[in-house]
Chains A and B, each alone.
Chain A
């Protein structure tokens, strides 16, 4: 290395004293070769600087372009008809499943009873209305009195037993109600009145008395007979509800 170049580099690096700096500047003014050397060195340093900046910017540019490519490659959300159909089907299955589950959870003896039990209206009975103490008590919803009057009587008719049974139903005394209804249905007296009424209500009483099998059998019997007085009411009980009750038994 030429000694002069070392001085020039020191000059560019600001390593020279004030006097040395002034001496170098004076030499450069006089010597065109030295001035050329100094310009080459300046160009070299500028090249180093620009190259360093270029590499930094280039690295940032590559990083930005990479991100741009990743953004471009991110697939747009394209839903095919198949996917849409599958989603709709899945949603439908889910809704159906929830509905089935809800149905299963919500249907039980109590719900069926609440939905289908309506108090018997004595005025709706066929034939002339016979006024008696039990009937009066029934119409006045004096359920305990109805039952007491039934027991006080020496001879009981189907009507009397039916009203007592319905009074027990109103009081939620289902075993007692079942007993009254069964007496009517099993009686061999030839009295055919209130049998169909008893069949319908005993079916509901069976459900509430945890005798689901008997209740369902009775309801199916009524539903199979379109001439039965309680066929319209029994038909409102869905087969699914009865099936669920049978499963839960």
Chain B
């Protein structure tokens, strides 16, 4: 992507909402913000792989926040993303320490987190667990749920996309897949804890 075709911050946010420009937006996020995150994480004892993984999660969280309409543009994309990266990395350090990792990790100098950051970021461990449970449903379930809940396709479009008999078959399949997923979550301690904290 050349300099001329770069999005401004507000254009970038709009392109993420439109989804068809998502790839260009993600590439720009990598080109403009990956290095600063990398420097921070590697300066705090992380590896190159840690930095890449954390930045990927940062982008996922940022996109999710934007697509849910929760991003407040006044903070600026860079500031927001750096805050997410720091939050994710400090959580990761804590998780590793809990896991008995005696490797020296530096948490000193932790800066004040941006307001609202923790609210938009799901715990990394929980996210991984939930992703694993979704994977256990199988590809057809994952695809139907993704097309309906992320791509916002109608039942009719999904029928034509996945070659099901009719909309009712897809609707039933979707209910069934969603129910299977929630059943799995109920049996997962991390997910159950999260839900219990929410409803108490």
Contact = CB atoms under 8 A, between A and B. Distances in A.
A54 to B, nearest CB: 5
Interface in A118-147: none
B151, B179, B191, most chain A CB atoms within 10 A: B179
A35 B199 CA distance: 7
Contact of B122 (A50, A52, A58, A65): A50
B56 A61 contact: yes
Contacts of B64: 49-50, 53
A49 B181 contact: no
A41 B182 contact: yes
Interface in B142-200: 142, 145-146, 149-151, 175-176, 178-179, 181-182, 185-186, 191, 194-196, 198-199
Interface in A6-58: 6, 9, 32, 35-37, 39-41, 43-54, 56-58
Contact of A53 (B52, B63, B142, B186): B63
A48 B182 contact: no
B134 interface: yes
B131 interface: yes
A5 interface: yes
Nearest to B174: A9
Given A43-B194, A64-B30, A56 B22 contact: yes
Contacts of A48: 134, 142, 145-146, 149-150, 181
B59 A51 contact: no
A46 B150 CA distance: 9
B9 interface: no
B179 A36 contact: no
A39 B198 contact: yes
Contact of A9 (B59, B150, B178): B178
A53 B60 contact: yes
A57 B54 CA distance: 12
A93 B60 CA distance: 62
B36 interface: no
Nearest to A61: B56
A148 B23 CA distance: 99
Size class of the B contact interface (CB-based, 8 Å): 35 or more
A51 B146 contact: yes
Contacts of B178: 9, 41, 44-45
Given A9-B178, A43-B195, A64 B146 contact: no
A32 B199 contact: yes
B130 A47 contact: yes
Given A1-B175, A40-B182, A57 B56 contact: yes
B130 A1 contact: no
A51 B182 contact: no
A44 B63 contact: no
Interface string A181-223: 0000000000000000000000000000000000000000000
B117 interface: no
A134 to B, nearest CB: 87
A15 B151 CA distance: 17
Contacts of B59: 57
B127 interface: yes
A60 interface: yes
B145 A39 contact: no
Contacts of B149: 45, 48-49, 52
Interface in B131-145: 131, 133-134, 142, 145
A64 B27 contact: yes
Nearest to B52: A61
B77 interface: no
B63 A1 contact: no
Contacts of B27: 60, 64
Contacts of B56: 54, 57-58, 61
A52 B148 CA distance: 11
28 contacts: A6-B175, A36-B195, A36-B199, A37-B182, A39-B195, A40-B186, A40-B191, A41-B178, A43-B191, A43-B194, A43-B195, A45-B178, A47-B131, A48-B146, A48-B149, A49-B150, A50-B60, A50-B127, A50-B130, A51-B134, A52-B151, A54-B60, A56-B26, A57-B56, A57-B60, A60-B23, A61-B52, A65-B52
